[in-house]
Amino acid sequence: MLAQFLQFLFSGITVGATYALAALGFTLIYNASNVINFAQGEFIMLGGMLAVFFAQSGLPLPAAMLLAILVPAGVGVLIEKLAIEPVKGAETVSLIIITIGASLVIRGLAAVGFGKGTFSLPAFSGETPIDVLGATLMPQSLWVLGVTAAAVGALWYFFNYSLAGKAMLATACNRMAAQLVGIDTNGVLFLSFALSAGMGALGGILIAPLTLTAYDVGVMLGLKGFVAAVLGGLGNGLGAVVGGLLVGLIEALGAGYISSAYKDAIPFVLILLILFFMPRGLFGARLTERV
Amino acid sequence: MEITLSRSAAPMAPSAPLPFSSDHPAATGAAPLLRVEGLTSAYGRIQALKGISLELRRGETVALVGANGAGKTTFLRALSGVQPISSGRILFDGEDISTLRADKRMRRGICQSPEGRQVFGPLSIEDNLRLGAYTQPRQQVAGDLERVYGLFPVLAEKRRMPAGTLSGGQQQMLAIGRALMGRPRLLLLDEPSMGLAPLLVEEVFAVVKALKAEGMSIVLAEQNAFAALALADRGYVLETGTVALEGSGTELIGNEQVRSAYLGM
């Protein structure tokens, strides 16, 4: 009984960590530009696929991983420059449609470039499962959780203790005032796309050894990351992390105790419930401002 | 051009020069610091500025007065580069900055305390001030922070609190303090007394006066025309996007038209 629960728990928070990284990506871009970037899932896919590609071409794993983060970050900046910036001031719906278009392009190019097969990345440190009270825990899960925690910590430090991070927050909260204090708000926009693409790619790399990867895994991972971001309260960093872990857990428990056939349906039922009953999510903005 | 700032600055007395301005008063040249020629700007099809020309010499305080919608805010935003202009030129210190991005203009020394304060609500007061010095060398920030706190002690008490929790008057002080952190060569103040209780209005104007005494170059946009003109060296009266009148502060206060339209006399 306990062993089974623990098993669901492990797989839930492992995949939840990937959702959390994706949700952070949504949050970063949403805060900086009010765009909901539905190409976020493609960054996750690119991370996993590029890591496989670079590793197979003979690069050592750490170098392959680094490149598999940097290239998607560059793609993120390109999307901003080529697709978002030219239509500055467009309606949110148009911007969302543009990001969906960008995601189709990336997915199409990936299908052509990598083929439509399924790929796997070797686990970072062996495949010997660890036994925890009767449940098995893959070493890769520890990598996923550890690296995600480190990335979240780094991001937290960046926003709380660096002037560049605060400049990003300031731009998110009042673009004109940010310009008036001399912040290059376009640069902030680039940075937010690069950061969130890098975050997504990192998640894709970490999860690839556990789940296999293919050119089209980004759709589902991205949408679940979006559910996580909404559950946590769109625009809230802490909410994105908590939301990601919760979506992963609920999904794993639902799949385990109800039926694994509903695994993918659970997050989407969840988002309907959130939007009906608490549209601001768990940590949604409370209005404290005085005018 | 470097001014020697005593870092151990004593508490502010209005008579002692306030060391915020990075322009030495003695650097006063013949050429104006700011020269605006035929500036026009529009919101969509609505023409908000219809050709405004204005000049400001170093160390001068110029008041912009006029009713709501006269174009004061649009003009200041156009100066800072956050409102697009459709024609005209802005010369700052002899350089044409009309096409420069807002952050580049701020780096040239044009700092604005915008209408409605526009503080960064979720960030702490100290973070707001530090962001005001975003373009400035790090080593001067600690000293400048202390000076702003000396000017507005209430901000020092609440330095860790989110700016959104401050009262309107305190937010106004924060907005001015944030602009000062950028070491302005030209300070733009947009409606600093708007919505404040009379006592706070006095306090804000006292600060503006002290900055002027220091030799700061200031453009002060105000609906509170009497207070602004009384303090300013010169004034411009704006009406629906054009300059209706200009003159020295005392001239404008004495002008019949101004008295009946803006001073309620």
H/E stretch holding A277: helix A265-277
CB–CB contact A289 B164 (8 Å): yes
Q: Say what the pLDDT of residue A286 is.
A: 52
Mean pLDDT, rounded, for A241-247: 95
In a domain, A287, yes or no: no
Q: Does B6 score more than 50 pLDDT?
A: no
Chain-wide mean pLDDT for chain A?
90
Question: Per-residue pLDDT tens for A82-140?
Answer: 998 888 778 888 888 999 999 999 999 999 999 999 998 988 888 888 888 888 899 99
Mean pLDDT, rounded, for A197-206: 95
**A263 or A284: which leads in pLDDT:** A263
Assign B10 a pLDDT band (cuts: 50, 70, 90): very low
DSSP strands (E only) in A151-277? none
Q: How does strand B218-222 pair with strand B61-65?
A: parallel
Assign B29 a pLDDT band (cuts: 50, 70, 90): low
Mutate which: B103, B128, B144, vs A, most A CBs within 10 A? B103
Looking at the structure of chain A, the number of domains it has is 1
Mean pLDDT, rounded, for A35-61: 94
Contact B246, B63 (CB under 8 A): no
Assign A142 a pLDDT band (cuts: 50, 70, 90): very high
In a domain, A233, yes or no: yes
Tell me which residue has tokens 């305080």. Answer: B61
Question: Per-residue pLDDT tens for A219-234?
Answer: 999 999 999 999 998 8
H/E stretch holding A135: strand A135-137
Inform me whether the C-beta atom of residue B43 falls under 8 Å from chain A C-beta atoms: no
Assign A32 a pLDDT band (cuts: 50, 70, 90): confident
In a domain, A93, yes or no: yes
User: With contacts defined as CB-CB under 8 Å, which chain B residues touch A289?
Assistant: 121, 164
User: With contacts defined as CB-CB under 8 Å, which chain B residues touch A174?
Assistant: 118-121
Assigned token pair, A272: 């309907």
**Terminal C-alpha separation, chain B:** 45
Mean pLDDT, rounded, for B79-102: 95
User: With contacts defined as CB-CB under 8 Å, which chain A residues touch B106?
Assistant: 179-182
Assigned token pair, B75: 């003009």
Residue A129: which domain range? 2-277
ipTM, 2 dp:
0.86
Residue B87 Cα distances to A166, B41, B42, B74, B158, angstroms: 35, 7, 10, 14, 44
Ramachandran angles phi, psi of B246, nearest 5°: -145, 155
Determine the distance in angstroms separating the CA of B196 from the nearest CA of chain A, rounded to an integer: 11
CB–CB contact B123 A173 (8 Å): yes
Identify the weakest region by mean pLDDT among A263-267, B147-151, B257-261: B257-261
| Nearest of A42, A12, A56 to residue A214 by alpha carbon | A42
Mutate which: A181, A185, A283, A290, vs B, most B CBs within 10 A? A181
In a domain, A286, yes or no: no
CB–CB contact A180 B167 (8 Å): no
Strand partners, B187: B111, B218
* Residues with Cβ within 8 Å of residue B24, at least 6 apart in sequence: B1, B3, B215
The full 3-state SS of B205-242, as one line of letters, equals: HHHHHHHHHHCCCEEEEECCHHHHHHHCCEEEEEECCE
Assign A287 a pLDDT band (cuts: 50, 70, 90): very low
Q: Does A187 score more than 80 pLDDT?
A: yes
Contact A23, A152 (CB under 8 A): no
In a domain, A282, yes or no: no
Determine the distance in angstroms separating the CA of A224 from the nearest CA of chain B, rounded to an integer: 28
Question: Per-residue pLDDT tens for B184-234?
Answer: 999 999 999 988 888 899 999 999 999 999 999 999 999 888 899 999 999
Q: Does B135 score more than 50 pLDDT?
A: yes
Angle (CA) A223 A227 A232, round 5°: 145
What letter represents residue B127's amino acid?
Answer: D
Mean pLDDT, rounded, for A44-61: 94
* DSSP letters spanning B81-121: TSS--SEEEEEETTEE-TTS-HHHHHHHTEEEE-TT----T
Q: Does B18 score more than 70 pLDDT?
A: no
Q: Say what the pLDDT of residue B24 is.
A: 53
Tell me the CATH number at A174.
1.10.3470
3-state secondary structure of A152: helix
In a domain, A289, yes or no: no
Q: Say what the pLDDT of residue B44 is.
A: 86
Q: Say what the pLDDT of residue B90 is.
A: 97
CB–CB contact B103 A174 (8 Å): no
In a domain, A175, yes or no: yes
Question: Per-residue pLDDT tens for B34-59?
Answer: 999 999 999 988 899 999 999 999 99
Q: Say what the pLDDT of residue A119 is.
A: 93
Q: Say what the pLDDT of residue B30 is.
A: 64
| Nearest of B14, B13, B21 to residue B217 by alpha carbon | B21
Determine the distance in angstroms separating the CA of B189 from the nearest CA of chain A, rounded to an integer: 12
Mean pLDDT, rounded, for B70-82: 95
CB–CB contact A181 B165 (8 Å): no
In a domain, A283, yes or no: no
